[in-house]
Structure 1
Amino acid sequence: MRELRGGLVGLRLLAICLILGVAALAGVGSLASAITQGLSERGQLILGGDVEASLTSRPASPQERARLDATGVVSETVRLRAMAGREGNDERLLVELKAVDAKWPLYGRFTIAGGSTLAPGSAAIDPALADRLKLARGDRISIGNAVFTVAGIIGQEPDKAGEGLGFGPGIIVPLADLAATGLLEPGSLYRSHYRIRLPANAAPAEVVKGLEKAAPDVGFQYQDRSNGAPGTRRFVDRLGQFLTLVGLTALVVAGVGVAGGVSAYLGGKTKTIATLKTLGADTATIRATYLWQIGLVTIGAVIIGLAIGAATPWIVVQFAADSLPVPPSLRPQWMALVTAGAYGLLIALAFALWPLAQAARMPAARLFRSITERRDRPGAATIATMAGAGLTIVGITVLNATDRLFVLGFVGAALGLIALLWALAALVRWAAARAPRPKGTLARLALSNLHRPGAQTRQLIVALGLGLTLFSTLAVIETNFSGQINRTLPDRAPSFFVIDIPNEDLQRFQGVVEKASPGAGQTLVPSLRGPVTAVKGIPVSELNTSPDAWILRGDRGLSYAAYFPPNNVLVSGKWWPKDYAGPPLISLDDEAAKALNLKIGDAITVSVLGVEVTGTIANTRKIDWQSLGFNFAILFAPGTLEAAPHSWMATLSVPAAGEKGVQAAIGRSFPTTSVVRVKDVLGQVGELLQQLGSAIRAAASVTVAAGIAVLIGALAAGARARTYDSVLLKMLGATRRQVALATLAEYGALAAIVAVLALVLGAGAGWYTVTQVFKLEWAPEWLPVVATVVVGGVVTVVLGLVGSWRALSARPNVVFRDL
Structure 2
Amino acid sequence: MNAALRLGLRDLRGGIGGLRLLAICLLLGVAALAGVGSLSAAILSGLAAAGQGIVGGDIEMRVSQRRAAPDELAAFARTGLVSETIRMRAMASRLDGAETALVELKGVDARYPLYGSFRLAPGALRARPGPGEVAVAPALADRLRLRIGDSVRIGDARLRLIGFVAEEPDRLGEGFTLGPVAIAGMDTLHQTGLVMPGSLYQARYRIKLPPAIADAHATAEALERRFPLGGWETRDRTNAAPSLRRFITRLGQFLSLVGLAALAVAGIGVGNGVSSWLDGKRRGIAVLKALGADSRTIFLAYLAQIGIVAAIGVAAGLVIGALVPPAVGALAGDALPVRPGFALHPLPMVVAAAYGLLVALLFSLAPLARARAVTAASLFRGGVEPMAAPGGRVRLLQGGLALAIAALAILGADDRMIAAGFIAGVAGLLALLAGIGVAVRRIAAALPRPRRPLARLAIANLHRPGAPTGQLVVALGLGLTLFATLAVIETSLGASLTGAIPARAPSFFVLDLPKDDAARFRELVAARAPRAEVRTVPMLRGAVVEIGGRRVEEMKDIPSDAWMLRGDRGLTYAASLPAGSRVVEGKWWPGDYRGPPLVSIDVQAARALGLKIGDSLTVSVLGVEIPAHIASFREIEWDTMGFNFAILFAPGVLEAAPHTVSATIAVAPSEEPAISRAVTADFPSASLIRVKDVIGQVATVLGQMGLAIRAAGSVAVLAGIAVLVGAVAASRRQRVYDAVLLKLLGATRAQVLAAQALEFALLALALAILALVFGAAGGWYVVTRVLELEWAPDWRVVLATLALGGVGTLVIGLLATLPALNARPARALRDL
Matched, 1:267 2:279: yes
In structure 2, do the counterparts of structure 1 residues 298 and 800 end up closer, same or farther at CA, with 3 Å as the change threshold?
Answer: same
Correspondence for 1:173: 184
Task: Write out aligned runs for 1:612-761 (5 A).
Answer: 612-761=625-774
Distance 1:774 1:333 in 2: 27
In structure 2, do the counterparts of structure 1 residues 538 and 577 end up closer, same or farther at CA, with 3 Å as the change threshold?
Answer: same
Matched, 1:68 2:80: no
Post-superposition Cα deviations, 1:92-143, rounded to whole Å, max 9, x if no partner, equal 1111111111111110011001253222221111111111111111111111
Matched, 1:791 2:799: no
1:200 to 211, 228, 235: 211
C-alpha deviation, 1:370, in angstroms: 3.7
Which deviates further from its counterpart, 155-164 or 252-261? 155-164
Unaligned runs of 5+ in 1: none
C-alpha deviation, 1:329, in angstroms: 5.1
Correspondence for 1:102: 110
Which deviates further from its counterpart, 742-751 or 761-770? 761-770
Correspondence for 1:18: 26
- Are the equivalent residues in 2 in contact too, given 1:36–1:328 (CA < 8 A)? no
Q: What SS does the corresponding residue of 1:75 show, helix, strand or coil?
A: strand
In structure 2, do the counterparts of structure 1 residues 262 and 72 end up closer, same or farther at CA, with 3 Å as the change threshold?
Answer: same
Distance 2:537 2:629 in 1: 22
Amino acid across the alignment from 2:589: W
- Are the equivalent residues in 1 in contact too, given 2:34–2:318 (CA < 8 A)? yes
Matched, 1:117 2:127: yes
Post-superposition Cα deviations, 1:521-565, rounded to whole Å, max 9, x if no partner, equal 111111111121122232212112223321122211111111011
1:444 to 453, 456, 476: 456
C-alpha deviation, 1:773, in angstroms: 5.4
C-alpha deviation, 1:444, in angstroms: 1.0
C-alpha deviation, 1:74, in angstroms: 0.8
Amino acid across the alignment from 1:285: T
Amino acid across the alignment from 2:22: L
- Are the equivalent residues in 2 in contact too, given 1:37–1:329 (CA < 8 A)? no
TM-score, normalisation: structure 1: 0.98
Distance 1:151 1:456 in 2: 73
Post-superposition Cα deviations, 1:348-388, rounded to whole Å, max 9, x if no partner, equal 01101111111111322236544433322212221122111
2:516 to 504, 525, 531: 504
Amino acid across the alignment from 1:347: V
Distance 1:790 1:205 in 2: 56
Distance 2:537 2:560 in 1: 30
C-alpha deviation, 1:234, in angstroms: 1.2
Amino acid across the alignment from 1:623: I
Post-superposition Cα deviations, 1:210-248, rounded to whole Å, max 9, x if no partner, equal 112322221101111111111211111111011001100
Q: What SS does the corresponding residue of 1:2 show, helix, strand or coil?
A: helix
- Are the equivalent residues in 2 in contact too, given 1:501–1:647 (CA < 8 A)? yes
Post-superposition Cα deviations, 1:1-49, rounded to whole Å, max 9, x if no partner, equal 1000010111111000000000000000100111001000100011111
- Are the equivalent residues in 1 in contact too, given 2:283–2:378 (CA < 8 A)? no
- Are the equivalent residues in 1 in contact too, given 2:90–2:687 (CA < 8 A)? yes
Matched, 1:433 2:445: yes
Distance 1:54 1:151 in 2: 29
Post-superposition Cα deviations, 1:407-440, rounded to whole Å, max 9, x if no partner, equal 1111111111111111111110110111111111
C-alpha deviation, 1:77, in angstroms: 0.7
Q: What SS does the corresponding residue of 2:384 show, helix, strand or coil?
A: coil
In structure 2, do the counterparts of structure 1 residues 460 and 201 end up closer, same or farther at CA, with 3 Å as the change threshold?
Answer: farther
Task: Write out aligned runs for 1:192-591 (5 A).
Answer: 192-202=203-213, 203-328=215-340, 330-366=342-378, 369-543=381-555, 544-591=557-604
Amino acid across the alignment from 2:385: E
Task: Write out aligned runs for 1:112-151 (5 A).
Answer: 112-114=120-122, 116-118=126-128, 119-151=130-162
Q: What SS does the corresponding residue of 1:814 show, helix, strand or coil?
A: helix
TM-score, normalisation: structure 2: 0.97
In structure 2, do the counterparts of structure 1 residues 366 and 183 end up closer, same or farther at CA, with 3 Å as the change threshold?
Answer: same
In structure 2, do the counterparts of structure 1 residues 163 and 9 end up closer, same or farther at CA, with 3 Å as the change threshold?
Answer: same
Distance 1:113 1:54 in 2: 29
Post-superposition Cα deviations, 1:134-180, rounded to whole Å, max 9, x if no partner, equal 11111111111111111111111111111222111111111121111
- Are the equivalent residues in 2 in contact too, given 1:373–1:453 (CA < 8 A)? no
Correspondence for 1:51: 59
Q: CA RMSD in A?
A: 1.4
- Are the equivalent residues in 2 in contact too, given 1:770–1:777 (CA < 8 A)? yes
Amino acid across the alignment from 1:532: V
Distance 1:549 1:19 in 2: 41
Distance 1:121 1:81 in 2: 18
- Are the equivalent residues in 2 in contact too, given 1:163–1:229 (CA < 8 A)? no
Distance 1:774 1:295 in 2: 39
Amino acid across the alignment from 2:537: V
C-alpha deviation, 1:733, in angstroms: 2.0
Distance 1:9 1:89 in 2: 74
Which deviates further from its counterpart, 364-373 or 495-504? 364-373
1:2 to 10, 24, 28: 10
Amino acid across the alignment from 1:194: Y
Q: What SS does the corresponding residue of 1:605 show, helix, strand or coil?
A: strand
Distance 1:210 1:777 in 2: 42
Matched, 1:33 2:41: yes
Amino acid across the alignment from 2:217: A
Q: What SS does the corresponding residue of 1:154 show, helix, strand or coil?
A: strand
C-alpha deviation, 1:801, in angstroms: 1.1
- Are the equivalent residues in 1 in contact too, given 2:599–2:647 (CA < 8 A)? yes
Distance 2:690 2:205 in 1: 31
Q: What SS does the corresponding residue of 1:117 show, helix, strand or coil?
A: coil
Distance 2:199 2:677 in 1: 21
- Are the equivalent residues in 1 in contact too, given 2:333–2:340 (CA < 8 A)? no
Distance 1:791 1:471 in 2: 9
Distance 1:434 1:55 in 2: 74
Distance 1:451 1:214 in 2: 77
Post-superposition Cα deviations, 1:34-85, rounded to whole Å, max 9, x if no partner, equal 1001000100011111111100111010111111111101111111111001
Q: What SS does the corresponding residue of 1:406 show, helix, strand or coil?
A: helix
Distance 1:188 1:373 in 2: 85
Amino acid across the alignment from 1:125: V
Identity of aligned residues (%): 53
Correspondence for 1:164: 175
Distance 2:482 2:606 in 1: 33
Distance 2:98 2:512 in 1: 19
Amino acid across the alignment from 2:97: N
Correspondence for 2:194: 183
Distance 2:223 2:479 in 1: 53
Distance 2:379 2:182 in 1: 78
Amino acid across the alignment from 1:151: I
Post-superposition Cα deviations, 1:604-636, rounded to whole Å, max 9, x if no partner, equal 111111111121111101100111211100000
Correspondence for 2:612: 599
Distance 2:78 2:104 in 1: 31
Correspondence for 2:96: 88
